[in-house]
Structure 1
Amino acid sequence: MKHGIVVIILTLVINTPLMAFETNPEIERGHYLVRDMLSCTHCHGEDLGGAEGVQVAGITSNAPNITDDEDTGIGGWTDKQVSQSIRNGIRPDGSYIGAPMPVNTYKNISDDDLKAIVAYLRSLPLVNRTIKPSEMTVKSRKQHGPVIDKVPAPDGQDPVAKGKYVYELIYCSLCHNAFQNNELYVGVGGNPFKQPDGSVVISSNLTPSGNLPGYSDEELKKVIKYGVRPDGSKLRPPMPTEIYHNVADTDLNDLIDFLRSLPAGEAPSPAAN
C-alpha cells in the first residue's frame, strides 16, 4: 500500500510542472507570440539562448541570450526591465539595442501580450551561453523614438482592429507601408529590395489597388503562410513565409479582414509587379 502511495506522489510531482505550463494561459500566449508570431527564434536560436552570425534582411548580427540565466541571459533583469528592452530597446544600464532588433514594431505590443512574453521567457530552461554583440549592432545603437509606456489591447470584438494588430506584429508594415513627405501610406508597398543576384523585388500593394481583390480568403492564407500564389508561382524574398507557417487561422482571418478594409492606394514609388 505504501509503495502505491509513493508511486502516486512521484507521478504527481513529475507531472505538475508540465501540467502547470499547459494550463497557464499567459505562458501559452507568450509561447505563441514568441515562437509563432514574432518568431524570436529566427534570431535568438531555437532554445532562445542566443546565436551568432544571424542573417536578417542582409544584415549579419549576433542575437543575445534571452533565457532566464542569471549570468549570461536576462535572469538578473526585472520584468519591467525586460519589457522596456523589448518595447523601447533600452537595456537596464540605459544603453540602446541596435539593429536588427525591430523595436519600432514591438512598440505596438499590448501590455497584456508583453506581460505574456516575459512570463514565457521566464519559464524557459536556462541556457548558459555568452554571446558577444556584433560590431554592426554596436554601431547601430540609438534611441528608438519616444518611450512608450502603455499600449491597450485591440478591441476583441472588432476583427479589423485585431487584424491591424496582427499586421504590425508579424512585420507586414516593415515592407508594405510606405512613407513620403512624412506621410504614411498603409499597405501600398512599392519598396525595393535588392536580391543577391542583383535583381530587385518590389513589395506588393496590399490595398484594393493591388492583386488581393482577385484572391479568395483561403488563397490569400496560402500566399501568406506558404508563399504560393493561386497560379502556383512563388513569392521571392524578403517575404518571410517560413515564419508564418504556425500563425493561427483566427489571426489570419483578422489580418485579411484588415487588408480588405484598406482604402485603395498607390505607392509613392514604382508599382509592385
Structure 2
Amino acid sequence: MTFGARRRVGRGGLACAIVLAATLGAARAETPLERGRYLVETIAACGNCHTPKGPDGPLPGKALAGDWVVEDIPPFRAVASNITPDHATGIGGWTDAQIARAIREGIRPNGSVIGPPMPIGLYRGLADDDLAAMVAYLRSVPPVSNVAEKSTYRIPLPPAYGPPVGQVAAPPMADTVAYGAYLAGPVAHCVECHTPMLEGGRRDMTRLGAGGQAFAGPWGSAVAANLTSSRTSGLGAWSDAEIERAIRTGVSRDGRRLHPPMAFAQYRDISAADMTALIGFLRSLPAIEH
C-alpha cells in the first residue's frame, strides 16, 4: 500500500461501517433509564446475586430483593442485600450519591464497608454515565419488602478500597478491545470469577482470565473456565460463534451444559455490539495454560 493513496471501500467494508454507525447512533439515542435497565438486567447481571432463588429459579415478585446466599465459605458467608427502593429493607432511603458510592467504592451511607464477593475493585472503574444510569434504574424498580440476612466475615475488611473515585469515562465503543475490556472488567466482572486467586484473597492479575476457581452450589462444583487464547485449555480453538453460544446459552463447544454462577439468563440479551467487543477482548488475552 502506498501511504496517502485513496482506498476503495468494498461492499463488505461499507456494510460494516453502516452497522457501526447505526450501533453508535442507537447508543447515543439511549436514555439513561434504558441504559441502566440494560446494564443492571443484562450485562452487569445484578439479579444473578441480588434476586433470591428457589428450585425453579428466581422467586416471583422478589427481583433484586436480596437475601440470597451468594457464597458460604470459610472466610465469609456473603448474603446479597435488598437493592430495591423499599425504604425499610432496601435502598429507598439512600440518596443517588450514596447508592453510587456503595456500588463504586463499597461504602454504605453509615460508613461500613461492603465485603466480597462484591467486585468493588472492578466497579471502581465504572464510567460516570453508566453508574448514574444504573442508579436511575434501581430507583425505578418496584420496591420489595424483604429483610436480608447480614453477611458474616471471618476475615478483616479494609477500611476502604482506595481513595475516593474521581471522574471515569468509558473507552470509546469504536475501540473494540478496550471497550471489551471495560465490559469484561468493571461492568460484567467476568475477570472476577475467571482469574485465579492468590493467598489472602487477592486475584492473580498475572494470570488474567486463566480460570480454575471452583464455585459450589446446588449444581455441585463448577470450575471457572480458562478464557485465554490457549488452544489446549482455553478459547483459542473456539470460533466466535461457539464463544457467543456459551456466553448466551450456557452450551459449551462440545455440547456440554455449563453451570451457574454464570448468568446465562441475563447474558442471552447482551447486544450484538457488546458481544463483539467482549469476544474481541477475550481474543486478546495471552494464552495461559492451567
Place the TM-score, normalised by the shorter chain, in its bin. 0.7 to 0.9
Shift in Å, 1:187: 3.7
Task: Give the Cα separation in 1 of the matches to 2:286 and 2:34.
Answer: 35
Pick from 74, 78, 81 the counterpart of residue 95 of structure 2.
Answer: 78
Mark the CA change 1:226 to 1:78 in structure 2 (over 3 Å): closer, same or farther.
same
Pick from 223, 229, 233 the counterpart of residue 208 of structure 1.
Answer: 229
Pick from 98, 113, 117 the counterpart of residue 134 of structure 2.
Answer: 117
Mark the CA change 1:47 to 1:29 in structure 2 (over 3 Å): closer, same or farther.
farther
Mark the CA change 1:63 to 1:238 in structure 2 (over 3 Å): closer, same or farther.
closer
Is contact 1:33–1:117 with CA below 8 Å preserved after alignment? yes
Shift in Å, 1:251: 1.0
Residue 277 of structure 2 corresponds to 254
Equivalent position amino acid for 2:288 in 1:
G
Is contact 1:104–1:144 with CA below 8 Å preserved after alignment? no
Is contact 1:187–1:205 with CA below 8 Å preserved after alignment? no
**TM-score relative to the length of structure 2:** 0.71
Pick from 152, 165, 189 the counterpart of residue 210 of structure 2.
Answer: 189
Residue 5 of structure 2 corresponds to none
Which segment is superposed worse, 35-44 or 67-76?
Answer: 67-76
Shift in Å, 1:263: 2.4
Residue 70 of structure 2 corresponds to 56
**Structure 2: unaligned runs, 5 residues or longer:** 1-28, 52-60
Mark the CA change 1:43 to 1:70 in structure 2 (over 3 Å): closer, same or farther.
same
Residue 174 of structure 2 corresponds to 157
Which has the larger helix fraction?
Answer: 1
Equivalent position amino acid for 1:64 in 2:
S
Which whole-Å deviations, capped at 9, do the CAs of 1:210-230 have from their partners, x for residues lacking one? 442222111110011122123
Bigger radius of gyration, 1 or 2? 1
Shift in Å, 1:258: 0.8
Residue 191 of structure 2 corresponds to 173
Q: Percent identity?
A: 38
- Please provide the CA RMSD for this pair: 3.1
Residue 18 of structure 1 corresponds to none
Task: Give the Cα separation in 2 of the matches to 1:47 and 1:200.
Answer: 26
Equivalent position amino acid for 1:31 in 2:
R
**Structure 1: unaligned runs, 5 residues or longer:** 1-22
**TM-score relative to the length of structure 1:** 0.75
Is contact 1:49–1:73 with CA below 8 Å preserved after alignment? no
Shift in Å, 1:24: 6.5
Equivalent position amino acid for 1:205 in 2:
N
Task: Give the Cα separation in 1 of the matches to 2:63 and 2:158.
Answer: 24
Which whole-Å deviations, capped at 9, do the CAs of 1:118-150 have from their partners, x for residues lacking one? 1111222333x2524425269775445203233
Q: How many residues align?
A: 243
Mark the CA change 1:76 to 1:57 in structure 2 (over 3 Å): closer, same or farther.
closer
Equivalent position amino acid for 2:70 in 1:
V
Task: Give the Cα separation in 1 of the matches to 2:31 and 2:102.
Answer: 23
Equivalent position amino acid for 1:171 in 2:
H
